[in-house]
Amino acid sequence: MSGRTRYFMVVADGMADTPLAELGGLTPLRYRPRPQMAELAGQGGLFRVRTIPSGFSAGTETAMPLITGYDTSVLTGRGPVEAAGMGIALPAGQFAMRANLVRMAEDGTLTEACPDLSDEEGLAAGRLLAADAALAGELARVGWTFHPQPGFRQMITGPLPPPAGMTPPHNVQGDGIDGHWPTDALAPVVRRARALLRERGMALWPWGPGAWPHYEPFADKFGLHGAVISAVPVVRGMALLAGLEAPVVPGATGTLETDWRAKVDAALAAAARVPFVMLHLEAPDDCSHARSVEAELRAIAMIDEALARLRAGVGGPYRLLLLPDHVTSTETGRHGAEPVPWCVYDSERPAGIPTPFVEIDEGPVFAADIPLRTLLGQS
């Protein structure tokens, strides 16, 4: 790698947490501070940022575009961004919405919003739905198309306007399936899909619809070409919409079992081509949704090891921004809109005194684009 400064943005999805009784009232970050993160925060200082403006859904689909420097006009919904990440091309005048394959008890209680389905399992269930004439009829009545996908993330597209008033399934785990389908078009689709998937203990849960958004290319906005390394369709989709590279990394799953070394190596390889590289690691969010304190602590340790591997591999001057995109409470398994901590490290400046990278509740709350602008020296 040349002597040109590289800009790394490491996003630890959902790593900010709430105090947990199991950890004596501490958050996982406070309970076991990690050495790499402490070095970064110790040099650059620890600040906080609001990544979820009021009135917007508390989640990656809101936070990621904003911390990547875009304003709320691109937040048309999660669906189109994920569709872009899945390689679905959406013509103007269309909407896309996510449809999760959820796990559902016999009595219709939602037990798992984001089940750990294999690619094959997801695709098989999706194809079962796509092949059903009755379901096709319900979709055709409103001009919608169902797109089978690997894993639990399925997709529905259709003409504007998108249906309104749906609920993200991860916010209502434990609820029944009825009562979440405010539009006439949705209820029969959901009912028919449930009938088809009942034997598999699953159901289809549509949510997150939106019209195709307009992104100004990142390179025009910030004067730098870049790449995003992520296993998650909403993040890869945002990257592609923003004109950033989004290479697919084999073995990157977005869970604790992800091949994080391959992702770090992909980030380093990208940094040989482009000056800005975002590395997005989903595991802390995944483990908080599963409400496993033990897994959450391991996910945070994994982030720290990934930081060590990244920093050791750069081989030239670099700046590094570390932040979670949002809070995910391991106690409730739900996202939160509270500000999250961030820090920017500069390899050309002297080391500081290691300071734990933890959630803070004092000091100014910066706007969502300030960490990136600080990283790029454009604040």
Question: Contact positions toward Zn ion, by CB under 5 A?
Answer: 285
For Zn ion, which is the closer residue by CB, 235 or 321?
A: 235
Q: List the structure tokens of 220.
A: 């025009």
Q: In Å, how far are 15, 47, 258, 310 from 335, measured between CA atoms?
A: 10, 20, 21, 28
Q: Residue 142 and residue 187: Cα distance in Å, rounded?
A: 12
Minimum CB distance to Zn ion smaller for 285 or for 338 = 285
The least CB distance from residue 292 to Zn ion, in Å, is 14
Give the separation between CA 154 and CA 102, rounded to whole angstroms.
Answer: 10
Helix (H) or strand (E) run with residue 319 in it: strand 318-323
**What three-state secondary structure class fits 204?**
strand
Q: Which is nearer to Zn ion, 285 or 359 (CB)?
A: 285
Q: Residue number with the shortest CB distance to Zn ion? A: 285
Please identify, using beta-carbon distances, which residue of 15 and 297 lies nearer to Zn ion: 15
For Zn ion, the closer of residues 239 and 320 by Cβ is 239
Closest to 371 (Cα-Cα) out of 318, 322, 307, 306: 322
CB of 60 vs Zn ion, minimal distance in Å? 6
Supply the minimum distance, in Å, between the C-beta of residue 334 and Zn ion. Answer: 9
| 74, 213 contact by CB (below 8 A) | yes
Rounded distance between C-alpha atoms, residue 336 and residue 361, angstroms: 14
- Complex with Zn ion: residue 90 or 256, whichever CB lies closer: 256
Give the shortest CB-329-to-Zn ion separation in angstroms: 10
CB of 295 to Zn ion, least distance (A): 14
- The per-residue DSSP string of 259-309 comes to -HHHHHHHHHHHHTT-SEEEEEE-HHHHHHHTT-HHHHHHHHHHHHHHHHH
Q: How far is the CB of 305 from Zn ion (least distance, A)?
A: 22
